[in-house]
Structure formats: C-alpha cells, structure tokens
Amino acid sequence: MSAAIVAARQRVGGTQWVYHRGGTPPGPAGGGAGPPDVDELCAQFTLVCESAVDPLEICCALEFEGWSDKAVRDRYGVPDVFALAEQLYLRVPRRPAEPDQAPDPWQIATARPALHGLLYGLPTVCFPAAAGLLTGPGVVTLLIVVSLVSWAISQSLAYLGYLRLGQAGPVPAGRLLRAGLAAGLAGVLLALAVTAMALPVRVAAASFAAGLGVYMLGATVLIVLGGERLLLAAAAPGVLGSAAFLLLGRPAPLTHPAWAALAATPLLALALATRRAGRTSPGRTSPGRGRHAATGNGPPRRGPRTRRRAGWLVTGTELRGALPSAGFGLVAAGLFAFPVAAGMPGHASAGLLVSLPLAMSMGAAEWMLIWFRRRTQRLLRSTREPRAFATGSRLALLAALLLYLAVTAALTAAVTAVAVGTRLAHPDLGVLPQVAAYLAVGGAMFTALLLQAFGSRVVPLACCAVALAAEAACRGAGVAAQLVACTLLLTGLAGYAALVLSSATRHAC
C-alpha cells in the first residue's frame, strides 16, 4: 500500500491541477476555477478535510466511499483520486476538531486513601499499651535497629512487588512477594539477634521488636496485593486490645490479655500475607497453566540460557533498581528515629503526640498525590503554553504541600487533645520545636514520595541522607539543629520538585 501511494504521488508530481467548469480534463495551474460539483464534494467531506494533516487522509476517505480513478476522471476530469484529494486539501482550511476527552486515570477515591491512613496510623496505639514490655537497658536501640531494617526491607519489597505486578500481573507478583516475605523476615530476625547479642535486652522487649518487624513486612505484602481488608482484620486484635487497655486506665488484671492481643496482630499479618501471596502463586493455578496465566499469553520460545533465567524470581537489574527504595526507607526511618537515638529533650512527649498523626497523614498524602496528578493532567489538556503549564503545576504543588501540612497539624492537635484528656501525656510549650521538626520531616517525606511517583528517586534519597548526616554532626545543638536541618530539607525538596515537575514531559504518562 505504501509503495502504491508513493508511486501515485510521483505521478501527480509537483503539478497543481485546476478544474474547468466544462468538466474537461484539467491542465496545469492557471486554467481557472473548478466545477461546482467539487464544492459539493468539499461540503460532503468537510470534517475529514478540516482534520486532515495530509491529502492522503482525504484520499483514503474518498476511496472508502467508493470513489475510484475512473469515477473521478469521468465526473471531475482529474487523473486519479490522489489529484482530487489534493484539491480538496487545498480548498478546505484546516480546523481540526478537538479529540474526545480521554478517561481520567487518576480518579480520586476517598475511601481507599482513608483506609490506608487508618492502617498506617492505628498500630501506633499499641506502643503505649506495650510500655510494660519496653523496659530495661538497650530497648531503645533495639527498636531503632528493627525499625531501620524493617523500613528498608519493606520499601524495597514494595518496589519489587509493584514492579512485578505491573509487568506480569498478580501471579508472578504473589510468587515474588512470598519469597521476599521469607527473605525479609530472615533479615529482620538476623538483625534482631545480632542486636540482642550485643545488648542486654529482655526477652519480652525482643519479642515486641520482632512482632514490629513481622507486622511491617506482612502489611507491605497485603497492601501491594490489595488486601487492605485482611490487614485491617489483622490489626484489629492489637489495636482494639490496646485501646481498651489504655481507656480503662491500664488495669493490672488486663495486662497479659492486652499483651496477648498485641502478639496476635503480627502473627495474623504474617499468616494472612502468606496466604494471600500463596493464592496468586503458580502452584495454585490449574494444571497446564504456568506463569503466563495472568496475561493469557502462551510461553514464548526461548533458548536454553533464556529458559534458565525465566525461572528466576528477580533479576540483578531489578535488585539494583530496588536499592534507592531500600536506602530511602533507611534514611526516612533514621530521620524519624534520630531524636530518640540522640536523647533530645522533649522527644518522648513529641514522639507520642506526632507518631499517630504522621502515620495517619500518609493516607492524606496518598489522596493529595492523586489530586496533584489529576490536576496536572487537566493542565496538560487545557494549556498550550509551556510557561503557563509550569506556573499551574507549581501552584498545584504548593497547594498539595500546604494542604498536607494543614491536615497533619490538625491531626496532631486532635491527638494532643485526646492524649491530654485521657492523661496519656502532659505536654508543655517546650515541646513545640520538636513537634515542628517532626512536621517538617513529614512534609519532606510527602514531597519525596511525590518525586518518587514521577520517577525521581536518587535526589530525594541524597537530600534525606545529607539532612540526617547534618543532624548527627550538629546533635550538640539539640532541637534547634534538628529543626533547621528538617526545614532546609523540606525547602530543598520542595524547590527541586517545583523545578522538575514544571516540565510537561514529566506528566505525559
């Protein structure tokens, strides 16, 4: 077909044909106006001609309607359909119609982010109820180590899980996550064992730390596979038991039942995550259906080397791609845990007041990220100037960041009121700088997650690592150094995001 089109255009050449009112075959340019029927044909094919970017599009439409070379020669006196299409293209001005509006891929669903916020935040209620378990030397160090390792492993596991889910569907993703869950659990227990051997910690504290790591890994697998309701069921015993224990004033007879409810949550999360990943594993599929069952494609032909690699759960390239996610989880946990590790004044009260709001604010962060992407997609469709798009995207970024900080501050105020009302905390004004530093870290994490959603992962990791190193180097200055470092981190990430996300190419997909 393409060779025929090229040959036909060569026949027409550079000669511009005109039409005579008598219907006789035309000659070269300069002969006069065309017959009236051509104007009628222009009206008939107006929509096609106005949107055509080339006369060949009009030619295809003419042939589709049954016009042949002989028909146009007999009716209009032109050599062929291509010459007639050239004339229609020249007569009708270009007024392309706006394309149909594409479906919005970033619909805002309030229920799912809100559920995620509850799943992130409610387990923090377990920490005050476990105060009796978290006593003795080395407990703080043990919890910090487990948190760092769990955050790093869960972030890398989530990256690999979502990557495989997008590439091949739930069957390979479930298989990968089940193996990653086992490997991550071994890593957490290894770190816990090494720390427990180096520090004199109680068995009860080590058990709680192990439960924390197990819950984080199980929660990661369930969220990646869409098992939020299962995770809510797993968190229910620990959360409800802890809440009842605290509201009743921590009565001694209910201490061991409350601890048993705490132990049930990580065990349930591990069991449900293993079951959910196993349900989508190849071993559960019908006979004769392998790793391509999710996509419906048969297994392609491979050589011996390719066939050997096909059985691998993860490649070296994918593992290297997960390193920035693991590093970000490590430094993010470090930024939140640094005040506790450094023993800064007021960190205990501030941590109690902001841990729940910051965890719950991740649900709001997810909603605002979707809102930002939806807003920028609208700007792409409605803005034709790059400078106008850059301005609109920066304003949307500023609105999302300010709204996130406002929601987090409101959640912090609500949690503070509840904690004071139930006598779980007795904060004073001296805790405000520490709370402000935590809020700055939360804003920086939101901005970093927003950048990661658009493919920028190295710069947020580097900025967070520099901020953590600056806090460690200036720890002698106390809370002031932390507040300055976290504020500069938030400002730097927001400025970088405003620069990077102002480009329309970042939002094209």
Name, in order, each residue with C-beta under 8 angstroms of 180's C-beta and a sequence gap of 6 or more. 157, 160, 161, 221
Average pLDDT over the chain, rounded to an integer: 76
pLDDT digits (tens, 9 = 90+) for 403-418: 999 988 888 888 778 7
How long, in residues, is the chain? 509
Q: Does the pLDDT value for residue 431 go beyond 90?
A: no
Distance between CA atoms of residues 443 and 404, nearest Å: 7
In the predicted model, what is the mean pLDDT of residues 94-104? Answer: 67
Strand, helix or coil for residue 280: coil
Q: Find the mean pLDDT for residues 105-112.
A: 63
Q: What is the pLDDT of residues 282-316, one digit of tens each?
A: 443 333 333 333 333 333 333 333 343 455 777 88
The answer to whether the CB of 450 falls within 8 A of the CB of 372 is yes
Q: Is the pLDDT of residue 15 over 50?
A: no
CA-to-CA distance for 356 and 415, rounded, in angstroms? 8
Residue 223 has a pLDDT of 87
pLDDT tens-digit readout, 196-206? 888 777 888 88
Predicted pLDDT at 244: 83
| Under 8 Å between Cβ of 222 and 272 | yes
Q: What would the mean pLDDT of 163-183 be, rounded to a whole number? A: 85
- pLDDT-derived band at 493, boundaries 50, 70, 90: very high
Mean pLDDT, range 490-508, rounded to an integer:
86
Number of H helices, E strands in the chain: 20, 0
Split at pLDDT 50, 70, 90, the class of 109 is low
What pLDDT score was predicted for residue 102?
Answer: 61
The structure tokens listed for 278 are 């196993």
Residue 92 banded pLDDT, cuts 50, 70, 90: confident
- How much of the chain exceeds pLDDT 90, in percent? 7
CA dihedral 492, 494, 500, 501 (to 10 degrees): 180
**Short-list 263, 135, 142, 140, CA closest to 191:** 142
CB atoms within 10 A of CB 378: 14
> Does 196 or 111 have the greater pLDDT score?
196
Q: How far apart are the first and last CA of the chain?
A: 33
Residues in Cβ contact with 237 at an 8 Å cutoff, skipping those fewer than 6 apart: 261, 262, 264, 265, 268
The span from the CA of 69 to the CA of 81, in Å, is 5
Q: How far apart are CA 329 and CA 155, in angstroms?
A: 6
Q: What is the pLDDT of residue 31?
A: 37
Q: Does the pLDDT value for residue 239 go beyond 80?
A: yes
* 105-114, 393-402, 497-506: range with lowest mean pLDDT: 105-114
Confidence of residue 466 (pLDDT cuts 50, 70, 90): very high
Is the pTM value of this prediction over 0.85? no
Q: Give the tens place of pLDDT for each residue, 362-377.
A: 878 888 888 888 888 8
What does the pLDDT average to over 448-475? 87
DSSP 424: S
Q: What sign results for the dihedral spanned by CA atoms 407, 337, 202, 326? A: positive
Task: Lowest mean pLDDT of 122-136, 250-264, 304-318, name the range.
Answer: 304-318
